[in-house]
Chains A and B, each alone.
Chain A
Amino acid sequence: MTTDQVNIDEELIPILRQVSDPEIPVLSILDMGVVRKAIVVDEVVEVSITPTYSGCPAMDVIGEDITAALAHAGYQAKVNLVLSPAWTTDWITPEGRKALLAYGIAPPLTATADKKALLGGEQLVKCPQCGSANTEMLSQFGSTACKALFKCKECQEPFDYFKCLT
Protein backbone atom coordinates (compact mmCIF):
# COMPACT_ATOMS: atom_id res chain seq x y z
CA MET A 1 0.00 0.00 0.00
CA THR A 2 1.27 3.44 -0.81
CA THR A 3 -1.14 5.21 1.48
CA ASP A 4 -0.28 6.19 5.02
CA GLN A 5 -2.04 5.19 8.22
CA VAL A 6 -3.23 1.92 6.75
CA ASN A 7 -3.08 -1.33 8.65
CA ILE A 8 -3.97 -4.35 6.56
CA ASP A 9 -2.86 -7.94 7.15
CA GLU A 10 -0.80 -9.25 4.22
CA GLU A 11 -2.95 -12.40 3.87
CA LEU A 12 -6.15 -10.35 3.46
CA ILE A 13 -4.92 -8.17 0.62
CA PRO A 14 -5.72 -10.62 -2.22
CA ILE A 15 -9.25 -11.06 -0.84
CA LEU A 16 -9.97 -7.37 -0.40
CA ARG A 17 -8.50 -6.61 -3.80
CA GLN A 18 -11.43 -8.47 -5.36
CA VAL A 19 -13.94 -6.07 -3.85
CA SER A 20 -14.60 -3.08 -6.02
CA ASP A 21 -16.49 0.17 -5.85
CA PRO A 22 -20.02 -0.62 -7.15
CA GLU A 23 -20.06 2.69 -9.05
CA ILE A 24 -16.62 2.16 -10.57
CA PRO A 25 -16.28 -1.64 -10.95
CA VAL A 26 -12.71 -1.45 -12.29
CA LEU A 27 -11.47 0.16 -9.12
CA SER A 28 -10.56 -2.05 -6.18
CA ILE A 29 -11.48 -0.64 -2.79
CA LEU A 30 -7.81 -0.99 -1.85
CA ASP A 31 -6.74 1.25 -4.72
CA MET A 32 -9.54 3.61 -3.78
CA GLY A 33 -8.04 3.97 -0.32
CA VAL A 34 -11.28 3.42 1.57
CA VAL A 35 -10.00 0.44 3.59
CA ARG A 36 -8.11 1.83 6.55
CA LYS A 37 -7.75 -1.29 8.64
CA ALA A 38 -8.20 -5.03 8.15
CA ILE A 39 -6.64 -7.19 10.81
CA VAL A 40 -7.43 -10.59 12.25
CA VAL A 41 -8.29 -10.42 15.94
CA ASP A 42 -9.40 -13.66 17.63
CA GLU A 43 -10.30 -15.23 14.28
CA VAL A 44 -12.51 -12.29 13.32
CA VAL A 45 -11.40 -9.77 10.73
CA GLU A 46 -11.86 -6.26 11.98
CA VAL A 47 -12.29 -3.98 9.00
CA SER A 48 -12.50 -0.18 9.06
CA ILE A 49 -13.66 1.63 5.97
CA THR A 50 -14.01 5.36 5.45
CA PRO A 51 -16.50 7.05 3.11
CA THR A 52 -15.30 9.08 0.16
CA TYR A 53 -18.25 11.46 0.65
CA SER A 54 -20.56 11.44 3.69
CA GLY A 55 -23.60 10.63 1.62
CA CYS A 56 -21.93 8.04 -0.58
CA PRO A 57 -24.60 5.36 -1.06
CA ALA A 58 -21.91 2.89 -2.11
CA MET A 59 -20.58 2.52 1.43
CA ASP A 60 -23.29 0.15 2.62
CA VAL A 61 -22.78 -2.04 -0.43
CA ILE A 62 -19.00 -1.98 -0.02
CA GLY A 63 -19.41 -3.08 3.60
CA GLU A 64 -21.63 -5.99 2.55
CA ASP A 65 -19.29 -6.95 -0.30
CA ILE A 66 -16.32 -7.04 2.07
CA THR A 67 -18.20 -9.27 4.51
CA ALA A 68 -19.20 -11.58 1.64
CA ALA A 69 -15.70 -11.75 0.14
CA LEU A 70 -14.16 -12.54 3.50
CA ALA A 71 -16.86 -15.12 4.28
CA HIS A 72 -16.12 -16.78 0.96
CA ALA A 73 -12.47 -17.06 2.03
CA GLY A 74 -13.51 -18.53 5.37
CA TYR A 75 -13.26 -15.43 7.53
CA GLN A 76 -15.81 -13.88 9.79
CA ALA A 77 -15.77 -10.11 9.51
CA LYS A 78 -16.83 -7.07 11.47
CA VAL A 79 -16.96 -3.94 9.33
CA ASN A 80 -17.20 -0.49 10.83
CA LEU A 81 -17.25 2.96 9.34
CA VAL A 82 -14.70 5.52 10.48
CA LEU A 83 -14.77 9.23 9.66
CA SER A 84 -11.40 10.31 10.93
CA PRO A 85 -8.96 10.90 9.37
CA ALA A 86 -11.20 11.98 6.53
CA TRP A 87 -10.65 10.36 3.14
CA THR A 88 -8.67 12.30 0.56
CA THR A 89 -8.12 11.67 -3.13
CA ASP A 90 -4.40 11.43 -2.30
CA TRP A 91 -5.19 7.95 -0.99
CA ILE A 92 -6.08 6.71 -4.46
CA THR A 93 -3.07 4.60 -5.50
CA PRO A 94 -1.21 5.05 -8.82
CA GLU A 95 -2.85 1.77 -9.95
CA GLY A 96 -6.19 3.25 -8.99
CA ARG A 97 -5.54 6.36 -11.03
CA LYS A 98 -4.63 4.22 -14.03
CA ALA A 99 -7.81 2.18 -13.61
CA LEU A 100 -9.92 5.34 -13.46
CA LEU A 101 -8.37 6.70 -16.61
CA ALA A 102 -8.81 3.42 -18.48
CA TYR A 103 -12.46 3.38 -17.39
CA GLY A 104 -13.02 6.85 -18.86
CA ILE A 105 -12.84 8.91 -15.69
CA ALA A 106 -10.17 11.62 -15.48
CA PRO A 107 -8.25 11.08 -12.20
CA PRO A 108 -7.97 13.94 -9.69
CA LEU A 109 -5.33 16.63 -10.23
CA THR A 110 -3.31 18.09 -7.39
CA ALA A 111 -5.24 20.39 -5.05
CA THR A 112 -3.83 23.57 -6.60
CA ALA A 113 -4.39 22.45 -10.17
CA ASP A 114 -7.89 21.25 -9.26
CA LYS A 115 -8.81 24.69 -8.00
CA LYS A 116 -7.47 26.32 -11.15
CA ALA A 117 -9.43 23.90 -13.32
CA LEU A 118 -12.73 24.06 -11.42
CA LEU A 119 -12.67 27.73 -10.46
CA GLY A 120 -10.34 29.49 -12.84
CA GLY A 121 -11.52 27.63 -15.93
CA GLU A 122 -7.95 26.63 -16.81
CA GLN A 123 -7.65 23.70 -19.20
CA LEU A 124 -5.80 21.24 -17.00
CA VAL A 125 -8.11 18.24 -17.03
CA LYS A 126 -7.29 15.94 -19.92
CA CYS A 127 -9.93 14.01 -21.83
CA PRO A 128 -9.66 10.31 -20.89
CA GLN A 129 -10.78 9.35 -24.42
CA CYS A 130 -8.42 11.30 -26.66
CA GLY A 131 -5.97 12.87 -24.21
CA SER A 132 -6.63 16.44 -25.29
CA ALA A 133 -6.47 19.21 -22.72
CA ASN A 134 -8.93 21.25 -24.76
CA THR A 135 -11.75 20.54 -22.33
CA GLU A 136 -14.37 22.54 -20.47
CA MET A 137 -16.28 22.00 -17.28
CA LEU A 138 -20.03 21.60 -17.70
CA SER A 139 -20.87 21.19 -14.03
CA GLN A 140 -18.99 21.11 -10.74
CA PHE A 141 -21.20 18.18 -9.77
CA GLY A 142 -21.34 15.04 -11.86
CA SER A 143 -23.02 11.64 -11.95
CA THR A 144 -21.93 10.96 -8.36
CA ALA A 145 -20.93 13.23 -5.49
CA CYS A 146 -17.23 12.61 -6.11
CA LYS A 147 -17.18 13.70 -9.76
CA ALA A 148 -17.51 16.81 -11.90
CA LEU A 149 -18.83 16.79 -15.46
CA PHE A 150 -16.54 17.83 -18.30
CA LYS A 151 -16.69 17.90 -22.08
CA CYS A 152 -13.84 17.44 -24.52
CA LYS A 153 -13.87 20.07 -27.23
CA GLU A 154 -11.65 17.95 -29.51
CA CYS A 155 -13.53 14.66 -29.61
CA GLN A 156 -16.79 16.15 -28.30
CA GLU A 157 -17.19 13.40 -25.69
CA PRO A 158 -18.51 14.30 -22.25
CA PHE A 159 -16.63 12.70 -19.37
CA ASP A 160 -16.41 12.56 -15.60
CA TYR A 161 -13.56 14.11 -13.66
CA PHE A 162 -12.84 12.73 -10.20
CA LYS A 163 -12.79 15.85 -8.02
CA CYS A 164 -9.87 16.49 -5.77
CA LEU A 165 -10.71 16.14 -2.08
CA THR A 166 -7.90 17.00 0.28
Chain B
Amino acid sequence: MKDNLIQYILGIADNSLILGQRLGELTGHGPAPEIDIAITNISLDLFGQVRSYFQYAAQLSDKDITEDDIAFLRTEREYVNVLLVEQPNTDFGYVITRQFLFDQFHYLLLSALQQSTDATMAAIAKKSIKEVSYHKRFSADWMKRLGDGTKESNQRVQQAVNDLWGYTNELFMLTDADKQAIAEGIGVDVTLFKKEYYENVAAILEEATLEVPTQAFFQKGGKEGVHTEHMGYLLADMQYMQRTYPGMKW
Protein backbone atom coordinates (compact mmCIF):
# COMPACT_ATOMS: atom_id res chain seq x y z
CA MET B 1 0.00 0.00 0.00
CA LYS B 2 2.81 2.39 0.88
CA ASP B 3 4.72 1.56 -2.29
CA ASN B 4 1.59 2.17 -4.28
CA LEU B 5 1.10 5.56 -2.68
CA ILE B 6 4.68 6.51 -3.53
CA GLN B 7 4.09 5.49 -7.13
CA TYR B 8 0.84 7.45 -7.17
CA ILE B 9 2.62 10.54 -5.84
CA LEU B 10 5.24 10.27 -8.57
CA GLY B 11 2.48 10.06 -11.18
CA ILE B 12 1.28 13.49 -10.10
CA ALA B 13 4.56 15.13 -9.14
CA ASP B 14 6.62 14.10 -12.19
CA ASN B 15 4.32 16.13 -14.44
CA SER B 16 5.07 19.26 -12.46
CA LEU B 17 8.77 18.46 -12.21
CA ILE B 18 9.29 17.97 -15.93
CA LEU B 19 7.08 20.89 -16.94
CA GLY B 20 8.88 23.06 -14.38
CA GLN B 21 12.20 22.04 -15.92
CA ARG B 22 10.96 22.88 -19.42
CA LEU B 23 9.77 26.29 -18.27
CA GLY B 24 13.02 26.83 -16.39
CA GLU B 25 14.89 26.49 -19.70
CA LEU B 26 13.27 29.77 -20.70
CA THR B 27 14.65 31.72 -17.75
CA GLY B 28 16.43 34.66 -19.30
CA HIS B 29 15.20 33.65 -22.76
CA GLY B 30 11.54 34.67 -22.62
CA PRO B 31 10.19 36.70 -25.53
CA ALA B 32 9.64 39.75 -23.26
CA PRO B 33 10.73 40.50 -19.67
CA GLU B 34 7.18 40.20 -18.27
CA ILE B 35 6.66 36.80 -19.87
CA ASP B 36 10.09 35.65 -18.84
CA ILE B 37 9.23 36.52 -15.23
CA ALA B 38 5.80 34.90 -15.46
CA ILE B 39 7.15 31.66 -16.87
CA THR B 40 9.91 31.54 -14.28
CA ASN B 41 7.36 32.15 -11.54
CA ILE B 42 5.15 29.33 -12.78
CA SER B 43 8.20 27.08 -12.91
CA LEU B 44 9.03 28.01 -9.32
CA ASP B 45 5.48 27.27 -8.17
CA LEU B 46 5.64 23.85 -9.82
CA PHE B 47 9.01 23.04 -8.25
CA GLY B 48 7.68 24.12 -4.87
CA GLN B 49 4.75 21.77 -5.24
CA VAL B 50 7.06 18.99 -6.39
CA ARG B 51 9.18 19.44 -3.27
CA SER B 52 6.13 18.89 -1.07
CA TYR B 53 5.20 15.72 -2.96
CA PHE B 54 8.74 14.34 -3.05
CA GLN B 55 9.39 15.13 0.62
CA TYR B 56 6.29 13.13 1.41
CA ALA B 57 7.34 10.27 -0.89
CA ALA B 58 10.83 10.20 0.66
CA GLN B 59 9.30 10.09 4.11
CA LEU B 60 7.08 7.15 3.11
CA SER B 61 9.94 5.25 1.54
CA ASP B 62 11.74 2.48 3.44
CA LYS B 63 14.96 3.50 1.77
CA ASP B 64 17.16 6.26 3.15
CA ILE B 65 16.42 8.79 0.45
CA THR B 66 15.65 12.50 0.17
CA GLU B 67 13.57 14.58 -2.19
CA ASP B 68 16.71 15.22 -4.25
CA ASP B 69 17.29 11.52 -4.88
CA ILE B 70 13.79 11.23 -6.26
CA ALA B 71 14.09 14.34 -8.39
CA PHE B 72 17.57 13.84 -9.80
CA LEU B 73 18.74 10.26 -9.54
CA ARG B 74 16.17 8.16 -11.33
CA THR B 75 16.65 6.70 -14.79
CA GLU B 76 14.48 7.81 -17.69
CA ARG B 77 12.19 4.77 -17.43
CA GLU B 78 11.46 5.59 -13.80
CA TYR B 79 9.93 8.98 -14.57
CA VAL B 80 6.19 8.64 -15.06
CA ASN B 81 5.20 12.06 -16.37
CA VAL B 82 2.86 12.36 -19.33
CA LEU B 83 4.45 12.94 -22.74
CA LEU B 84 2.79 16.35 -23.05
CA VAL B 85 4.95 18.07 -20.44
CA GLU B 86 8.29 16.89 -21.88
CA GLN B 87 7.60 18.34 -25.33
CA PRO B 88 10.17 21.00 -26.25
CA ASN B 89 9.85 24.79 -26.24
CA THR B 90 9.53 24.88 -30.02
CA ASP B 91 8.25 28.44 -30.01
CA PHE B 92 6.13 30.64 -27.75
CA GLY B 93 2.95 29.18 -29.26
CA TYR B 94 4.02 25.70 -28.16
CA VAL B 95 5.08 26.91 -24.72
CA ILE B 96 1.70 28.51 -24.09
CA THR B 97 -0.34 25.70 -25.65
CA ARG B 98 1.47 23.04 -23.63
CA GLN B 99 0.90 25.12 -20.51
CA PHE B 100 -2.75 25.71 -21.34
CA LEU B 101 -3.48 22.03 -22.03
CA PHE B 102 -1.76 21.06 -18.79
CA ASP B 103 -3.12 23.87 -16.55
CA GLN B 104 -6.71 23.04 -17.46
CA PHE B 105 -6.06 19.44 -16.41
CA HIS B 106 -3.97 20.34 -13.36
CA TYR B 107 -6.69 22.57 -11.94
CA LEU B 108 -9.37 19.86 -12.21
CA LEU B 109 -7.00 17.28 -10.74
CA LEU B 110 -6.17 19.44 -7.71
CA SER B 111 -9.83 20.37 -7.20
CA ALA B 112 -10.59 16.68 -6.76
CA LEU B 113 -7.41 15.84 -4.86
CA GLN B 114 -8.42 18.26 -2.12
CA GLN B 115 -10.91 15.59 -1.05
CA SER B 116 -8.25 12.87 -0.78
CA THR B 117 -8.50 10.76 2.37
CA ASP B 118 -4.74 11.19 2.68
CA ALA B 119 -4.30 14.36 4.74
CA THR B 120 -0.91 15.28 3.26
CA MET B 121 -2.07 14.90 -0.32
CA ALA B 122 -5.18 16.97 0.43
CA ALA B 123 -3.06 19.68 2.06
CA ILE B 124 -0.66 19.87 -0.88
CA ALA B 125 -3.63 20.09 -3.26
CA LYS B 126 -5.25 22.89 -1.25
CA LYS B 127 -2.02 24.83 -1.25
CA SER B 128 -1.21 24.22 -4.91
CA ILE B 129 -4.59 25.00 -6.38
CA LYS B 130 -4.30 28.63 -5.36
CA GLU B 131 -1.15 28.91 -7.42
CA VAL B 132 -2.45 26.88 -10.32
CA SER B 133 -5.50 29.12 -10.67
CA TYR B 134 -3.05 31.90 -11.58
CA HIS B 135 -1.26 29.65 -14.07
CA LYS B 136 -4.54 28.67 -15.65
CA ARG B 137 -5.56 32.29 -16.01
CA PHE B 138 -2.20 33.23 -17.54
CA SER B 139 -2.14 30.47 -20.16
CA ALA B 140 -5.81 30.88 -21.13
CA ASP B 141 -5.30 34.64 -21.56
CA TRP B 142 -2.35 34.04 -23.85
CA MET B 143 -4.21 31.45 -25.90
CA LYS B 144 -6.82 34.10 -26.60
CA ARG B 145 -4.24 36.77 -27.31
CA LEU B 146 -2.31 34.60 -29.74
CA GLY B 147 -5.32 32.94 -31.33
CA ASP B 148 -7.22 36.17 -31.74
CA GLY B 149 -4.09 38.20 -32.47
CA THR B 150 -2.44 38.48 -35.88
CA LYS B 151 -2.71 36.05 -38.76
CA GLU B 152 0.79 34.87 -38.00
CA SER B 153 0.16 34.31 -34.27
CA ASN B 154 -3.10 32.55 -35.04
CA GLN B 155 -1.46 30.16 -37.50
CA ARG B 156 1.42 29.36 -35.23
CA VAL B 157 -0.63 28.72 -32.10
CA GLN B 158 -3.06 26.63 -34.16
CA GLN B 159 -0.10 24.58 -35.33
CA ALA B 160 0.92 24.03 -31.71
CA VAL B 161 -2.62 23.03 -30.74
CA ASN B 162 -2.75 20.53 -33.62
CA ASP B 163 0.65 19.07 -32.73
CA LEU B 164 0.12 18.82 -28.99
CA TRP B 165 -3.47 17.64 -29.12
CA GLY B 166 -2.38 14.04 -29.57
CA TYR B 167 -0.80 14.10 -26.12
CA THR B 168 -3.93 15.14 -24.21
CA ASN B 169 -5.67 11.78 -24.01
CA GLU B 170 -2.84 10.31 -21.95
CA LEU B 171 -3.74 12.69 -19.12
CA PHE B 172 -6.83 10.56 -18.55
CA MET B 173 -5.32 7.08 -18.66
CA LEU B 174 -5.26 5.22 -15.39
CA THR B 175 -2.15 3.35 -14.30
CA ASP B 176 -2.26 0.45 -11.84
CA ALA B 177 -1.07 2.82 -9.14
CA ASP B 178 -3.92 5.20 -10.00
CA LYS B 179 -6.50 2.44 -9.81
CA GLN B 180 -5.31 1.21 -6.45
CA ALA B 181 -5.08 4.76 -5.03
CA ILE B 182 -8.62 5.47 -6.24
CA ALA B 183 -9.89 2.28 -4.59
CA GLU B 184 -8.27 3.42 -1.34
CA GLY B 185 -9.90 6.86 -1.52
CA ILE B 186 -6.51 8.53 -1.77
CA GLY B 187 -6.38 8.97 -5.50
CA VAL B 188 -8.44 10.91 -8.01
CA ASP B 189 -10.31 9.22 -10.83
CA VAL B 190 -9.30 11.58 -13.62
CA THR B 191 -11.64 9.90 -16.10
CA LEU B 192 -14.55 11.50 -14.23
CA PHE B 193 -13.61 14.97 -15.43
CA LYS B 194 -12.38 14.10 -18.90
CA LYS B 195 -15.53 15.41 -20.52
CA GLU B 196 -15.39 18.61 -18.50
CA TYR B 197 -11.74 19.07 -19.50
CA TYR B 198 -12.40 18.83 -23.22
CA GLU B 199 -15.43 21.12 -22.90
CA ASN B 200 -13.43 23.76 -21.01
CA VAL B 201 -10.56 23.54 -23.47
CA ALA B 202 -12.91 23.75 -26.46
CA ALA B 203 -14.67 26.82 -25.03
CA ILE B 204 -11.38 28.70 -24.66
CA LEU B 205 -10.11 27.62 -28.08
CA GLU B 206 -13.34 28.84 -29.58
CA GLU B 207 -13.03 32.17 -27.82
CA ALA B 208 -9.47 32.33 -29.12
CA THR B 209 -10.83 31.80 -32.66
CA LEU B 210 -8.90 28.54 -32.87
CA GLU B 211 -10.11 25.25 -34.21
CA VAL B 212 -10.56 22.25 -31.98
CA PRO B 213 -8.66 19.36 -33.55
CA THR B 214 -10.75 16.36 -34.50
CA GLN B 215 -7.95 13.80 -34.67
CA ALA B 216 -8.60 10.51 -33.00
CA PHE B 217 -5.07 9.11 -32.73
CA PHE B 218 -3.36 9.74 -29.44
CA GLN B 219 0.15 9.17 -28.12
CA LYS B 220 0.81 7.44 -24.83
CA GLY B 221 3.67 5.90 -22.88
CA GLY B 222 4.97 8.49 -20.45
CA LYS B 223 2.94 7.19 -17.54
CA GLU B 224 4.57 3.79 -18.06
CA GLY B 225 8.02 5.32 -18.30
CA VAL B 226 8.26 5.12 -22.09
CA HIS B 227 9.15 8.64 -23.20
CA THR B 228 9.67 10.61 -26.38
CA GLU B 229 13.15 11.31 -27.70
CA HIS B 230 13.14 14.71 -25.98
CA MET B 231 13.18 13.29 -22.48
CA GLY B 232 16.79 12.08 -22.47
CA TYR B 233 18.12 15.52 -23.32
CA LEU B 234 15.95 17.14 -20.68
CA LEU B 235 17.16 14.71 -18.01
CA ALA B 236 20.80 15.08 -19.03
CA ASP B 237 20.47 18.78 -18.42
CA MET B 238 18.46 18.44 -15.23
CA GLN B 239 20.56 15.71 -13.63
CA TYR B 240 23.98 17.01 -14.63
CA MET B 241 24.93 18.61 -11.32
CA GLN B 242 23.81 15.73 -9.10
CA ARG B 243 25.44 13.15 -11.36
CA THR B 244 28.70 15.06 -11.61
CA TYR B 245 28.92 16.15 -7.97
CA PRO B 246 26.95 13.51 -6.05
CA GLY B 247 25.26 14.86 -2.94
CA MET B 248 25.96 18.46 -3.91
CA LYS B 249 23.97 21.00 -1.93
CA TRP B 250 23.49 24.73 -2.24
| Proximity bits, B33-57, A CB within 8 Å = 1, else 0 | 0110110111011111101100000
Given the known interface contacts A54-B51, A84-B119, A84-B127, the answer about A140 and B138 at a Cβ–Cβ threshold of 8 Å is yes
* B48 pairs with A54, CB closer than 8 A: yes
**Contact residues of A between 129 and 159, Cβ < 8 Å to B:** 138-145, 149
Q: Interface stretch among B94-102, B128-136, B157-165?
A: B128-136
Given the complex, which residues of A lie within 8 Å of B45, measured CB to CB? 53-55, 145
Given the known interface contacts A53-B45, A149-B34, the answer about A165 and B130 at a Cβ–Cβ threshold of 8 Å is yes
Given the complex, which residues of B lie within 8 Å of A143, measured CB to CB? 37
A138 vs B48: C-alpha distance when bound (angstroms) = 25
Shortest beta-carbon distance from B116 to chain A in Å: 12
A51 vs B49: C-alpha distance when bound (angstroms) = 11
A142 vs B49: C-alpha distance when bound (angstroms) = 19
* A141 pairs with B127, CB closer than 8 A: no
Closest to B38 in A: A141
* A84 pairs with B122, CB closer than 8 A: yes
| Proximity bits, B97-129, A CB within 8 Å = 1, else 0 | 000000000000000000000011011101110
Given the complex, which residues of B lie within 8 Å of A144, measured CB to CB? 41
Of A51, A54, A163, A166, chain B has the most CB atoms within 10 Å of the CB of A54
A141 vs B35: C-alpha distance when bound (angstroms) = 8
Shortest beta-carbon distance from A13 to chain B in Å: 26
- Judge if A83 is at the interface, Cβ distance under 8 Å: yes
Closest to B20 in A: A55
Given the complex, which residues of B lie within 8 Å of A44, measured CB to CB? none
- Judge if B137 is at the interface, Cβ distance under 8 Å: yes
**Contact residues of A between 81 and 133, Cβ < 8 Å to B:** 83-87, 118-119
- Judge if A15 is at the interface, Cβ distance under 8 Å: no
* B123 pairs with A84, CB closer than 8 A: yes
Closest to B35 in A: A139
Closest to A118 in B: B137
- Judge if A71 is at the interface, Cβ distance under 8 Å: no
* B48 pairs with A141, CB closer than 8 A: no
**Other A-B pairs beyond A86-B130, A145-B45, 19, CB < 8 Å:** A53-B48, A54-B45, A54-B48, A54-B52, A54-B131, A83-B120, A83-B123, A84-B119, A84-B122, A85-B126, A118-B137, A138-B34, A139-B35, A141-B138, A144-B41, A145-B41, A145-B131, A149-B34, A149-B37
User: Can you name 25 A-B pairs with beta carbons within 8 Å?
Assistant: A51-B48, A54-B48, A54-B49, A54-B51, A54-B52, A54-B127, A54-B128, A55-B46, A56-B48, A83-B52, A83-B123, A86-B126, A86-B130, A139-B34, A139-B35, A139-B38, A140-B137, A141-B37, A141-B38, A141-B42, A141-B134, A141-B138, A143-B37, A145-B45, A163-B134
